[in-house]
Homo-oligomer: A and B are copies of this chain.
Amino acid sequence: MTSKAKHSLLVVGSLAFDSIETPNGSVDNALGGSATYFSYAASFFSPPRLVGVIGADFPDEHRQMLANAGVDIEGLVTLPGQTFRWKGRYHQDMNTRDTLEVHLNVFGDFDPVLPAHYRDSTHVFLANGVPALQAKVLDQVRRPQLVLADTMDLWIENQRKDLLALLPRLDGLLLNDSEAHLLSGEANLVRAGQAVLRMGPKFVILKKGGHGVMLFSADGVFVVPAFPTETVVDPTGAGDSFAGGILGYLTSDDSPPPGRLRRGMAYGTIVASFTVEDFGLDRLRRTRREEIDERLETYRGMLHF
């Protein structure tokens, strides 16, 4: 859990209490949120600087847990009121879910301000959020080397102009298959990815849930299958853990560019495969870096022919 002094990782996103129902069990008020999953996943490689907002109800043990993982929590702002709450139910196939309740609470007033010493961050993850706020974060970073952003259907439909203005400022955009269709109007996934690439980001990572991801860049298309796991307890946070694995790895690695992003995506895939094996952060918190490297080698062997 060391990061090289010359590179530093920033994440801006949500912290939440999630209540999750799955066909195999449920959990109430588990610590979740995009920035939480991202931070913990990244901490195996390069612990990030975190910007987020929590309510007065946020227990000190959660803060402490993040700090113990090496996460810089100076950018964590506490506002009067309650922390963001989300409640969802997964379908039998675990690839789709219904949102049952959303209470933005203090997250509805989120106005991300970077502590002064965060402004030299080289690697940045803009977790899913209002595109105008994502842009505002970027305005505060002095000279970012690699910016990855997530988005969602809501912003594609309702904040399209702001989102399109943001895309050329990104290195990578992360989105799922239905969001790629929505943004591009293309039914074929490869065409959809290529169309989004033409909108400005340097690369596009298209997530296909339990089926892995595709990477689109000037180098062409790459496919990264999911690690096949028989234990899918709770898929919540898989996408943000994937992003955390990628950027945590990239922040810690100085090897030449072409293979690096794909290696980062492999690490992201493996970290996410641990996340889904239990509710919330439970499995990640029991994971050792050696387990990640072991599973990465198993995965590499699976893809070799």
Contacts and interface: CB of A to CB of B under 8 A. Distances in A.
Interface of A: 23, 92-94, 187-191, 194, 208, 210-212, 214, 220-232, 259, 262-263, 265-266, 300, 302-305
- The residue among A225, A262, A266, A305 with the most chain B CB atoms within 10 A of its own CB is A305
Given A211-B208, A228-B214, A303 B223 contact: yes
Contacts of A224: 225, 305
Contact of A188 (B214, B232, B262, B263): B232
Contact of A212 (B225, B229, B232, B259): B225
B303 A230 contact: no
A228 B221 contact: yes
A228 B232 contact: no
Given A208-B211, A211-B208, A211-B211, A228 B190 contact: yes
Contacts of A187: 23, 92-94
Given A208-B211, A211-B211, A222 B302 contact: yes
Contacts of A231: 188
A190 B93 contact: no
A138 B193 CA distance: 45
A223 B266 CA distance: 14
Contact of A228 (B223, B229, B304): B223
A187 B92 CA distance: 7
Given A211-B208, A230-B194, A302 B188 contact: no
Nearest to A212: B225
- The residue among A23, A225, A231, A259 with the most chain B CB atoms within 10 A of its own CB is A225
B262 A305 contact: yes
Given A223-B303, A302-B223, A230 B92 contact: no
Given A189-B228, A228-B189, A230-B188, A259 B305 contact: yes
Contacts of A259: 305
A226 B213 CA distance: 11
Contacts of A194: 230
11 contacts: A93-B187, A94-B188, A194-B230, A211-B211, A212-B223, A214-B228, A222-B302, A223-B227, A262-B304, A266-B305, A300-B305
A263 B305 contact: yes
- Per CB-CB distance, the 7 closest pairs between chain A and chain B, nearest first, are A211-B211, A190-B230, A262-B305, A223-B225, A225-B225, A266-B305, A303-B303
